[in-house]
Amino acid sequence: MLPTWFLSMWMSNTATTVMMITIVEALLTKLDDTVEANSGEAAIEEALGKKKKSLKRLRRFATGISLSVCYAAGCGGIGTLIGSPPNIIFYGLAVGRFGGEIPVNFGSWMAYGMPMSLLCLIVTWITICLMFLGPKAFFKCGRWKKKERPMQNQAEFVKEATSANSTEKLQDLEHKSDQEEEDDEIPLDIVVIVNKIAAEERRVLGPMNFGEIACMILFILLIGLWITREPGVPGWSRFMPVRNDSSGRTVIFVDDTQPTILFTILAFIIPATNPFCLHKNKTETDKQTRKRINTS
């Protein structure tokens, strides 16, 4: 929810939801494949009633994480002036009616909207956790590591159940497993698998490259210009020209649009790879790029 909330403050709620829900679907697909691969023989699980319970927990987890993305995007949309279209429409109507002297700007909107947005996010997170994990599971989250049961223990359980020579031994194993699940009362195996998948994906991504760092710096500088244009005290906009129209209203020639255009142009100018380290690159694409630069 936190990444969706943060992205939704700077993007449309719909665009953020569409982008994040695809990531959620990929995660759930991989989670389903992992659970199926580690669940043991289907016949044993059907006999013990595990498969139906696992699928029920997985559906509940999928519903909760999917709804959390949608609600987090809605919470983030009220945090900034560009977070959602209604915010921009309201600002445009206010400027058109009262001119550029209105006290609403990017900084003042964030001062008003950010605390409300963060409070809504926290309340939504708690509500979703209580609805889809349950009160006991939510307040026992600090005991997960003590009670988590690795996937290899499940494999040992299935192996032991398969090799059981008597019905009594199989029933004892089933009773023992059910007792452990009653103690946990949350899908700890799903949480463990999700953490492993996330760690693996982070490892595959690797460190940030030059282009990603450059985009992050441009984004931070753009937000800084938006906030400091009129932060409640005279900002950098006081150095820009201001005129009055025929009706006496103040006309401002520089607003939040100009920094956006400037950094958009810079994003297309700055190269994706560090131009001072081309000699260290060994790929064929980098060699061709270096050749074009040298011949130009």
Calpha distance 255→290 (Å, rounded) = 39
The confidence score (pLDDT) of residue 170 equals: 46
Q: Does pLDDT of 72 surpass 80?
A: yes
State the pLDDT at residue 47. Answer: 46
CA-derived radius of gyration, the chain: 27
pLDDT digits (tens, 9 = 90+) for 87-130: 889 888 887 787 666 778 888 888 889 999 999 999 999 999 88
The answer on pLDDT for 296 being more than 50 is yes
Token code pair at residue 41: 């023989």
- Binning pLDDT at 50, 70 and 90, where does residue 186 land? very low
How do the domains of the chain map onto residue ranges? 1-140+184-206, 209-295
SS3 call for 146? helix
Q: What is the pLDDT of residue 291?
A: 67
Residue 103 has a CB neighbour count (10 Å cut-off) of 9
Q: Is the pLDDT of residue 52 over 90?
A: no
**Confidence (pLDDT) at 56:** 75
For residue 228, pLDDT over 70 is answered with yes
- Reported as a single tens digit per residue, the pLDDT across 158-183 is 455 455 444 454 455 445 555 444 44
Q: Identify the residue with better confidence: 233 or 59.
A: 59
242 DSSP β-pair partners? 252
Q: Would you place residue 293 in the very low, low, confident or very high pLDDT band (cuts 50, 70, 90)?
A: low
Percent over 70 (pLDDT), the chain:
63
Please give the share of the chain, as a percent, with pLDDT higher than 90.
18
DSSP structure class, residue 251: E
Q: Residue 147 has what pLDDT?
A: 44
Is the pLDDT reported for residue 148 higher than 70? no
- What letters, b where the CB count within 10 A reaches 16 and e where it falls short, cover 12-34? bbeebbeebbeebeebbeebeeb
